[in-house]
Structure 1
Amino acid sequence: MSAQRYGCRMFDPHNDLHRVGSLDELRTHYRHPHAGTRGKERPALDAASATVAERCRFATIGTFDVLGNADVSPRGGPSGFIRVLDPTHLAMADLGGNNRLDTLENIVATGRVALLLITPGKSETVRVNGAAFVSTDPELLHGFQLPKPPKSAIVIRVETTYMHCAKAFMRSGMWDQTVWAELADVPDGAAVLSCQGVVDVDAETTRKWLDDDYAEALAVEAQTT
Protein backbone atom coordinates (compact mmCIF):
# COMPACT_ATOMS: atom_id res chain seq x y z
CA MET A 1 0.00 0.00 0.00
CA SER A 2 2.76 2.43 0.92
CA ALA A 3 4.73 1.66 -2.24
CA GLN A 4 1.66 2.26 -4.39
CA ARG A 5 0.85 5.49 -2.62
CA TYR A 6 4.31 7.01 -2.65
CA GLY A 7 5.63 5.68 -5.96
CA CYS A 8 6.90 2.56 -7.65
CA ARG A 9 9.64 1.84 -5.11
CA MET A 10 10.07 2.08 -1.37
CA PHE A 11 12.28 4.79 0.06
CA ASP A 12 15.76 3.51 0.93
CA PRO A 13 17.43 5.77 3.52
CA HIS A 14 20.80 4.06 2.96
CA ASN A 15 20.99 5.46 -0.57
CA ASP A 16 20.57 9.09 0.47
CA LEU A 17 23.72 10.77 -0.85
CA HIS A 18 22.93 13.94 1.08
CA ARG A 19 22.81 12.41 4.55
CA VAL A 20 24.33 14.85 7.05
CA GLY A 21 27.33 13.16 8.62
CA SER A 22 28.62 15.59 11.24
CA LEU A 23 27.56 18.39 13.55
CA ASP A 24 29.80 20.82 11.68
CA GLU A 25 28.15 19.91 8.38
CA LEU A 26 24.71 20.29 9.93
CA ARG A 27 25.51 23.80 11.16
CA THR A 28 26.49 24.93 7.63
CA HIS A 29 22.82 24.64 6.64
CA TYR A 30 21.53 26.87 9.45
CA ARG A 31 22.35 30.27 10.85
CA HIS A 32 23.66 30.42 14.40
CA PRO A 33 21.01 31.14 17.05
CA HIS A 34 21.08 34.63 18.48
CA ALA A 35 22.33 35.25 21.99
CA GLY A 36 18.87 35.32 23.55
CA THR A 37 18.06 31.87 22.20
CA ARG A 38 21.39 30.41 23.28
CA GLY A 39 21.08 31.80 26.78
CA LYS A 40 17.44 31.12 27.62
CA GLU A 41 17.93 27.79 29.41
CA ARG A 42 17.51 27.98 33.17
CA PRO A 43 18.43 25.42 35.85
CA ALA A 44 15.19 25.90 37.81
CA LEU A 45 11.60 27.01 37.40
CA ASP A 46 10.90 30.72 37.69
CA ALA A 47 7.56 31.97 39.04
CA ALA A 48 5.92 32.18 35.60
CA SER A 49 7.08 28.73 34.46
CA ALA A 50 5.98 27.25 37.78
CA THR A 51 2.50 28.67 37.22
CA VAL A 52 2.42 27.16 33.72
CA ALA A 53 3.28 23.78 35.24
CA GLU A 54 0.75 24.05 38.07
CA ARG A 55 -2.07 24.98 35.69
CA CYS A 56 -0.97 22.66 32.90
CA ARG A 57 -3.72 20.42 31.52
CA PHE A 58 -1.75 18.69 28.75
CA ALA A 59 1.87 17.71 28.27
CA THR A 60 4.01 15.38 26.22
CA ILE A 61 6.71 13.35 27.92
CA GLY A 62 9.70 11.89 26.10
CA THR A 63 11.67 8.93 27.44
CA PHE A 64 13.98 6.20 26.14
CA ASP A 65 14.91 2.66 27.14
CA VAL A 66 18.33 1.09 27.75
CA LEU A 67 18.74 0.39 24.02
CA GLY A 68 18.05 4.01 23.13
CA ASN A 69 14.57 3.36 21.72
CA ALA A 70 12.69 6.63 22.14
CA ASP A 71 9.07 7.13 23.14
CA VAL A 72 6.79 10.16 23.43
CA SER A 73 3.52 9.93 25.30
CA PRO A 74 0.66 12.41 25.82
CA ARG A 75 -0.33 13.19 29.40
CA GLY A 76 -3.40 15.13 30.44
CA GLY A 77 -5.56 15.96 33.40
CA PRO A 78 -7.16 18.79 35.31
CA SER A 79 -4.94 21.62 36.47
CA GLY A 80 -3.03 20.18 39.41
CA PHE A 81 -2.13 16.82 37.90
CA ILE A 82 1.37 18.32 37.79
CA ARG A 83 2.64 19.66 41.10
CA VAL A 84 5.57 21.99 41.68
CA LEU A 85 7.31 20.56 44.73
CA ASP A 86 10.02 23.23 44.69
CA PRO A 87 11.82 25.23 41.96
CA THR A 88 13.79 22.17 40.83
CA HIS A 89 11.27 19.36 41.32
CA LEU A 90 7.96 18.49 39.65
CA ALA A 91 5.61 15.59 40.29
CA MET A 92 3.25 14.35 37.58
CA ALA A 93 0.35 12.11 38.56
CA ASP A 94 0.20 8.94 36.49
CA LEU A 95 -3.48 8.85 35.57
CA GLY A 96 -5.24 5.95 33.88
CA GLY A 97 -3.86 4.87 30.51
CA ASN A 98 -3.51 1.72 28.44
CA ASN A 99 -1.35 -0.04 31.06
CA ARG A 100 1.49 -0.70 28.60
CA LEU A 101 3.64 1.34 31.04
CA ASP A 102 6.07 2.35 28.27
CA THR A 103 6.89 5.68 29.91
CA LEU A 104 7.16 4.32 33.45
CA GLU A 105 9.29 1.36 32.39
CA ASN A 106 11.65 3.66 30.51
CA ILE A 107 11.98 5.97 33.51
CA VAL A 108 12.75 3.05 35.82
CA ALA A 109 15.34 1.81 33.31
CA THR A 110 17.09 5.06 32.37
CA GLY A 111 15.80 7.83 34.65
CA ARG A 112 15.61 10.60 32.03
CA VAL A 113 12.66 12.63 30.72
CA ALA A 114 11.83 15.60 28.54
CA LEU A 115 8.55 17.45 29.06
CA LEU A 116 6.64 19.85 26.84
CA LEU A 117 4.02 21.74 28.86
CA ILE A 118 1.13 22.92 26.67
CA THR A 119 -1.62 25.35 27.63
CA PRO A 120 -4.74 25.10 25.42
CA GLY A 121 -5.15 28.32 23.45
CA LYS A 122 -1.56 29.48 23.97
CA SER A 123 1.16 28.84 21.42
CA GLU A 124 4.32 29.27 23.49
CA THR A 125 5.22 26.21 25.54
CA VAL A 126 7.55 25.44 28.43
CA ARG A 127 10.14 22.70 28.08
CA VAL A 128 11.63 20.82 31.02
CA ASN A 129 14.48 18.31 30.80
CA GLY A 130 15.94 16.34 33.65
CA ALA A 131 16.26 13.22 35.74
CA ALA A 132 13.20 11.31 36.93
CA PHE A 133 11.98 8.40 38.99
CA VAL A 134 8.63 6.73 39.68
CA SER A 135 7.29 7.09 43.23
CA THR A 136 4.46 5.39 45.13
CA ASP A 137 4.96 7.49 48.27
CA PRO A 138 1.46 7.76 49.85
CA GLU A 139 2.09 11.27 51.15
CA LEU A 140 3.15 12.46 47.71
CA LEU A 141 0.21 10.79 45.97
CA HIS A 142 -2.37 12.13 48.43
CA GLY A 143 -1.00 15.63 47.85
CA PHE A 144 -2.55 15.78 44.38
CA GLN A 145 -5.87 17.64 44.30
CA LEU A 146 -7.62 14.87 42.36
CA PRO A 147 -10.78 12.83 43.06
CA LYS A 148 -8.52 10.03 44.28
CA PRO A 149 -4.77 9.53 44.54
CA PRO A 150 -2.97 8.16 41.47
CA LYS A 151 -1.25 4.78 41.62
CA SER A 152 2.12 6.44 41.13
CA ALA A 153 3.74 9.73 40.23
CA ILE A 154 6.68 10.70 38.07
CA VAL A 155 9.07 12.90 40.05
CA ILE A 156 11.27 15.08 37.85
CA ARG A 157 14.41 16.91 38.91
CA VAL A 158 14.62 19.98 36.69
CA GLU A 159 18.01 20.35 35.04
CA THR A 160 17.09 22.72 32.23
CA THR A 161 13.90 24.60 31.45
CA TYR A 162 13.03 27.23 28.90
CA MET A 163 10.21 28.79 26.92
CA HIS A 164 9.78 27.41 23.41
CA CYS A 165 8.63 29.79 20.69
CA ALA A 166 5.18 29.69 19.10
CA LYS A 167 6.11 29.24 15.42
CA ALA A 168 5.23 25.52 15.21
CA PHE A 169 1.77 26.12 16.67
CA MET A 170 1.24 29.17 14.47
CA ARG A 171 2.26 27.33 11.29
CA SER A 172 0.02 24.39 12.10
CA GLY A 173 -3.02 26.46 13.04
CA MET A 174 -3.28 24.33 16.16
CA TRP A 175 -5.93 26.46 17.85
CA ASP A 176 -7.63 27.70 14.65
CA GLN A 177 -11.11 26.19 14.38
CA THR A 178 -11.07 26.77 10.62
CA VAL A 179 -8.13 24.37 10.42
CA TRP A 180 -9.99 21.88 12.61
CA ALA A 181 -12.84 21.90 10.08
CA GLU A 182 -10.42 21.38 7.19
CA LEU A 183 -9.01 18.30 8.93
CA ALA A 184 -12.35 16.81 9.95
CA ASP A 185 -12.00 13.99 7.41
CA VAL A 186 -8.58 12.85 8.67
CA PRO A 187 -8.83 9.23 9.91
CA ASP A 188 -9.48 8.98 13.64
CA GLY A 189 -8.11 6.34 15.98
CA ALA A 190 -10.88 3.89 15.15
CA ALA A 191 -10.12 4.15 11.44
CA VAL A 192 -6.41 3.62 12.08
CA LEU A 193 -7.03 0.51 14.21
CA SER A 194 -9.37 -0.88 11.58
CA CYS A 195 -6.90 -0.18 8.76
CA GLN A 196 -4.06 -1.82 10.69
CA GLY A 197 -6.12 -4.94 11.29
CA VAL A 198 -5.76 -4.57 15.06
CA VAL A 199 -9.52 -5.10 15.38
CA ASP A 200 -11.69 -7.42 13.30
CA VAL A 201 -14.70 -5.09 13.12
CA ASP A 202 -15.40 -2.00 11.05
CA ALA A 203 -14.30 1.51 12.02
CA GLU A 204 -17.81 2.57 13.08
CA THR A 205 -18.09 -0.31 15.56
CA THR A 206 -14.58 0.37 16.80
CA ARG A 207 -15.44 4.05 17.28
CA LYS A 208 -18.36 3.16 19.54
CA TRP A 209 -16.23 0.71 21.51
CA LEU A 210 -13.51 3.32 22.03
CA ASP A 211 -15.97 6.01 23.11
CA ASP A 212 -17.65 3.65 25.58
CA ASP A 213 -14.29 2.55 26.95
CA TYR A 214 -13.09 6.15 27.38
CA ALA A 215 -16.31 7.15 29.13
CA GLU A 216 -16.18 4.19 31.51
CA ALA A 217 -12.51 4.70 32.38
CA LEU A 218 -12.93 8.43 33.03
CA ALA A 219 -16.05 7.82 35.13
CA VAL A 220 -14.15 5.38 37.33
CA GLU A 221 -11.27 7.85 37.59
CA ALA A 222 -13.67 10.59 38.73
CA GLN A 223 -15.05 8.49 41.58
CA THR A 224 -13.77 9.53 44.99
CA THR A 225 -13.80 6.02 46.46
Structure 2
Amino acid sequence: MMKDSITSEQELRDYLGEPSINATSKVIPYIDEHVEAYIAKSPFLTMSTADENGVCDASPRGDAPGFVLVQDEKHLLIPERPGNKRADSLMNILKNPGIGLLFMIPGLGETLRINGKARLVKDAEWLEKMAVQGKAPLLAIQVEVEECYIHCAKAFIRSGLWKPDSWLEKEDLPKPSKILHAHTKLPDTTPDSIQKRLEEGYRERLY
Protein backbone atom coordinates (compact mmCIF):
# COMPACT_ATOMS: atom_id res chain seq x y z
CA MET A 1 0.00 0.00 0.00
CA MET A 2 1.39 3.40 -0.98
CA LYS A 3 1.48 5.82 1.95
CA ASP A 4 1.48 9.06 -0.02
CA SER A 5 -1.35 9.41 -2.52
CA ILE A 6 -3.33 12.17 -4.24
CA THR A 7 -7.03 12.12 -3.32
CA SER A 8 -8.65 15.22 -4.84
CA GLU A 9 -8.79 17.11 -8.11
CA GLN A 10 -7.46 20.25 -6.47
CA GLU A 11 -4.49 18.38 -5.01
CA LEU A 12 -3.78 16.91 -8.44
CA ARG A 13 -3.93 20.34 -10.11
CA ASP A 14 -1.69 21.83 -7.42
CA TYR A 15 0.79 19.04 -8.12
CA LEU A 16 0.67 18.98 -11.94
CA GLY A 17 -0.37 22.51 -12.84
CA GLU A 18 -2.94 23.50 -15.47
CA PRO A 19 -3.01 22.21 -19.06
CA SER A 20 -1.77 24.48 -21.82
CA ILE A 21 -4.11 26.29 -24.22
CA ASN A 22 -2.99 23.87 -26.95
CA ALA A 23 -4.01 20.88 -24.84
CA THR A 24 -7.45 22.27 -24.06
CA SER A 25 -8.29 23.72 -27.47
CA LYS A 26 -7.36 20.70 -29.62
CA VAL A 27 -10.53 18.76 -28.77
CA ILE A 28 -13.33 18.75 -31.35
CA PRO A 29 -16.78 17.09 -30.91
CA TYR A 30 -17.08 15.61 -34.40
CA ILE A 31 -15.18 13.75 -37.14
CA ASP A 32 -13.64 16.28 -39.52
CA GLU A 33 -11.63 15.52 -42.67
CA HIS A 34 -8.38 15.19 -40.69
CA VAL A 35 -9.82 12.70 -38.21
CA GLU A 36 -11.43 10.73 -41.03
CA ALA A 37 -8.12 10.59 -42.92
CA TYR A 38 -6.33 9.31 -39.82
CA ILE A 39 -8.95 6.60 -39.28
CA ALA A 40 -8.65 5.57 -42.94
CA LYS A 41 -4.91 4.88 -42.47
CA SER A 42 -5.14 3.15 -39.09
CA PRO A 43 -4.99 -0.67 -38.90
CA PHE A 44 -5.23 -0.89 -35.10
CA LEU A 45 -6.97 0.59 -32.09
CA THR A 46 -7.49 -0.10 -28.43
CA MET A 47 -11.01 0.13 -27.05
CA SER A 48 -11.71 0.92 -23.41
CA THR A 49 -15.04 0.18 -21.75
CA ALA A 50 -16.40 -0.29 -18.23
CA ASP A 51 -19.41 -1.98 -16.71
CA GLU A 52 -22.05 -0.35 -14.51
CA ASN A 53 -19.76 -0.70 -11.48
CA GLY A 54 -16.75 0.89 -13.18
CA VAL A 55 -14.89 -2.39 -13.70
CA CYS A 56 -12.74 -1.60 -16.75
CA ASP A 57 -11.58 -3.48 -19.80
CA ALA A 58 -9.21 -2.57 -22.64
CA SER A 59 -9.38 -4.61 -25.83
CA PRO A 60 -7.44 -4.51 -29.13
CA ARG A 61 -9.13 -4.29 -32.51
CA GLY A 62 -7.27 -4.54 -35.80
CA ASP A 63 -7.63 -5.22 -39.50
CA ALA A 64 -6.55 -3.69 -42.80
CA PRO A 65 -6.15 0.11 -42.66
CA GLY A 66 -9.53 1.78 -42.77
CA PHE A 67 -11.34 -1.17 -41.18
CA VAL A 68 -13.29 1.30 -39.03
CA LEU A 69 -16.07 2.80 -41.13
CA VAL A 70 -16.96 6.49 -40.76
CA GLN A 71 -20.72 6.90 -41.27
CA ASP A 72 -20.96 10.65 -40.80
CA GLU A 73 -19.36 13.39 -38.72
CA LYS A 74 -20.80 11.99 -35.48
CA HIS A 75 -20.78 8.22 -35.98
CA LEU A 76 -18.30 5.45 -36.76
CA LEU A 77 -18.58 1.66 -36.92
CA ILE A 78 -16.08 -0.90 -35.57
CA PRO A 79 -16.57 -4.42 -36.98
CA GLU A 80 -16.76 -7.28 -34.48
CA ARG A 81 -14.84 -10.21 -35.97
CA PRO A 82 -14.87 -13.80 -34.62
CA GLY A 83 -13.11 -14.15 -31.27
CA ASN A 84 -13.19 -16.24 -28.13
CA LYS A 85 -16.82 -15.27 -27.36
CA ARG A 86 -16.02 -13.82 -23.93
CA ALA A 87 -17.46 -10.56 -25.32
CA ASP A 88 -16.14 -8.50 -22.39
CA SER A 89 -16.31 -5.19 -24.26
CA LEU A 90 -19.73 -5.98 -25.74
CA MET A 91 -21.18 -6.91 -22.35
CA ASN A 92 -19.81 -3.69 -20.89
CA ILE A 93 -21.38 -1.59 -23.64
CA LEU A 94 -24.80 -3.11 -22.89
CA LYS A 95 -24.43 -1.94 -19.28
CA ASN A 96 -22.52 1.32 -19.77
CA PRO A 97 -22.25 3.01 -23.19
CA GLY A 98 -19.17 5.10 -22.37
CA ILE A 99 -16.22 4.20 -24.61
CA GLY A 100 -12.68 5.41 -25.31
CA LEU A 101 -10.75 4.62 -28.49
CA LEU A 102 -7.05 5.02 -29.24
CA PHE A 103 -6.16 4.74 -32.94
CA MET A 104 -2.58 4.02 -34.01
CA ILE A 105 -0.67 4.08 -37.30
CA PRO A 106 2.59 2.10 -37.36
CA GLY A 107 5.58 4.42 -37.54
CA LEU A 108 3.60 7.47 -36.37
CA GLY A 109 4.06 8.57 -32.77
CA GLU A 110 0.95 10.72 -32.51
CA THR A 111 -2.22 8.77 -31.79
CA LEU A 112 -5.88 9.68 -32.28
CA ARG A 113 -8.19 9.56 -29.29
CA ILE A 114 -11.96 9.39 -29.65
CA ASN A 115 -14.41 9.29 -26.75
CA GLY A 116 -18.15 8.85 -26.92
CA LYS A 117 -21.12 6.58 -26.44
CA ALA A 118 -21.39 3.11 -27.97
CA ARG A 119 -24.12 0.68 -28.91
CA LEU A 120 -24.23 -2.71 -30.62
CA VAL A 121 -25.80 -2.81 -34.08
CA LYS A 122 -26.58 -5.57 -36.58
CA ASP A 123 -27.83 -3.68 -39.64
CA ALA A 124 -27.01 -6.06 -42.51
CA GLU A 125 -26.52 -3.27 -45.04
CA TRP A 126 -23.78 -1.64 -42.98
CA LEU A 127 -22.20 -4.95 -41.95
CA GLU A 128 -21.84 -5.93 -45.61
CA LYS A 129 -19.83 -2.77 -46.22
CA MET A 130 -17.20 -4.18 -43.80
CA ALA A 131 -17.06 -7.71 -45.23
CA VAL A 132 -13.61 -9.29 -45.69
CA GLN A 133 -13.01 -12.44 -47.74
CA GLY A 134 -16.74 -12.54 -48.37
CA LYS A 135 -17.56 -12.61 -44.65
CA ALA A 136 -19.41 -9.76 -42.95
CA PRO A 137 -18.67 -9.07 -39.28
CA LEU A 138 -20.94 -10.70 -36.73
CA LEU A 139 -22.11 -7.28 -35.56
CA ALA A 140 -20.64 -3.82 -35.15
CA ILE A 141 -19.99 -1.30 -32.42
CA GLN A 142 -21.39 2.08 -33.37
CA VAL A 143 -19.74 5.00 -31.60
CA GLU A 144 -21.43 8.37 -31.28
CA VAL A 145 -18.48 10.72 -31.14
CA GLU A 146 -18.21 13.28 -28.35
CA GLU A 147 -14.49 14.08 -28.40
CA CYS A 148 -11.70 13.72 -30.99
CA TYR A 149 -8.11 14.83 -30.48
CA ILE A 150 -4.52 14.02 -31.34
CA HIS A 151 -2.33 12.73 -28.52
CA CYS A 152 1.35 13.60 -28.51
CA ALA A 153 4.12 11.11 -29.35
CA LYS A 154 6.03 11.19 -26.05
CA ALA A 155 4.99 7.68 -24.96
CA PHE A 156 6.08 6.20 -28.29
CA ILE A 157 9.38 8.10 -28.23
CA ARG A 158 10.10 6.95 -24.67
CA SER A 159 9.17 3.33 -25.39
CA GLY A 160 10.82 3.10 -28.82
CA LEU A 161 7.77 1.07 -29.87
CA TRP A 162 8.20 1.66 -33.61
CA LYS A 163 11.99 1.16 -33.57
CA PRO A 164 12.81 -2.43 -34.63
CA ASP A 165 16.31 -2.17 -33.20
CA SER A 166 14.76 -1.81 -29.72
CA TRP A 167 12.64 -4.97 -30.04
CA LEU A 168 13.49 -8.18 -28.20
CA GLU A 169 14.93 -11.11 -30.09
CA LYS A 170 12.27 -13.69 -30.91
CA GLU A 171 13.68 -16.22 -28.45
CA ASP A 172 13.44 -13.64 -25.64
CA LEU A 173 9.75 -12.86 -26.16
CA PRO A 174 7.15 -14.17 -23.67
CA LYS A 175 5.62 -17.49 -24.76
CA PRO A 176 1.82 -17.04 -24.81
CA SER A 177 1.19 -20.79 -25.05
CA LYS A 178 3.18 -21.38 -21.84
CA ILE A 179 1.30 -18.57 -20.09
CA LEU A 180 -2.07 -19.97 -21.20
CA HIS A 181 -1.09 -23.47 -20.09
CA ALA A 182 -0.08 -22.20 -16.65
CA HIS A 183 -3.21 -20.07 -16.21
CA THR A 184 -5.89 -22.41 -17.57
CA LYS A 185 -4.55 -25.62 -16.00
CA LEU A 186 -6.68 -27.62 -18.44
CA PRO A 187 -6.14 -31.40 -18.42
CA ASP A 188 -4.67 -33.13 -21.44
CA THR A 189 -3.02 -29.96 -22.74
CA THR A 190 0.58 -28.91 -23.16
CA PRO A 191 2.17 -25.65 -24.26
CA ASP A 192 2.79 -27.29 -27.64
CA SER A 193 -0.84 -28.35 -28.10
CA ILE A 194 -2.02 -24.89 -27.13
CA GLN A 195 0.43 -23.32 -29.57
CA LYS A 196 -0.90 -25.52 -32.38
CA ARG A 197 -4.47 -24.50 -31.54
CA LEU A 198 -3.51 -20.83 -31.54
CA GLU A 199 -1.80 -21.12 -34.92
CA GLU A 200 -4.79 -22.96 -36.37
CA GLY A 201 -7.14 -20.22 -35.20
CA TYR A 202 -4.92 -17.48 -36.59
CA ARG A 203 -4.70 -19.31 -39.91
CA GLU A 204 -8.32 -20.42 -40.37
CA ARG A 205 -10.63 -18.31 -38.21
CA LEU A 206 -9.68 -14.64 -38.61
CA TYR A 207 -12.99 -13.82 -40.37
TM-score, normalisation: structure 2: 0.91
Matched with 1:42 is 28
1:152 to 128, 139, 153: 139
Paired letter, 2:159: S
| Alignment pair present for 1:52 and 2:7 | no
C-alpha RMSD of matched pairs (Å): 1.7
Give the CA deviation at 1:174: 0.6
| Alignment pair present for 1:217 and 2:205 | yes
Which secondary structure does the structure 1 equivalent of 2:178 belong to? helix
Q: How far, CA to CA, are the matches of 1:157 and 1:83 in structure 2? A: 13
Max Rg structure: 1
Q: How many residues align?
A: 205
Superposed counterparts of 1:158-177, under 5 Å: 158-177=145-164
Which secondary structure does the structure 2 equivalent of 1:28 belong to? helix
Matched with 2:173 is 186
The 8 Å contact of residues 91 and 155 in structure 1, kept in 2 or not, is answered as: yes
Query: For each residue in 1:150-180, what CA deviation from the matched residue of structure 2 results, as whole angstroms up to 9, or x when unmatched?
Result: 1101111100010001111111111111121
The 8 Å contact of residues 6 and 12 in structure 2, kept in 1 or not, is answered as: yes
The 8 Å contact of residues 116 and 147 in structure 2, kept in 1 or not, is answered as: yes
Provide the identity percentage: 35
Superposed counterparts of 1:61-210, under 5 Å: 61-147=47-133, 148-181=135-168, 185-200=172-187, 201-210=189-198
The 8 Å contact of residues 81 and 146 in structure 1, kept in 2 or not, is answered as: no
List, as ranges, runs of 4+ consecutive aligned residues in structure 1 with deviation greater than 4 Å: none
**Higher deviation after alignment, 56-65 or 143-152:** 143-152
Which secondary structure does the structure 1 equivalent of 2:167 belong to? helix
Query: For each residue in 1:161-213, what CA deviation from the matched residue of structure 2 results, as whole angstroms up to 9, or x when unmatched?
Result: 10001111111111111121358513132122133244454434422321122
RCO comparison, higher one (Cα < 8 Å, 6+)? 2
The 8 Å contact of residues 65 and 106 in structure 1, kept in 2 or not, is answered as: yes
**Gap regions ≥5 residues in structure 1:** 1-12
The 8 Å contact of residues 131 and 137 in structure 2, kept in 1 or not, is answered as: no
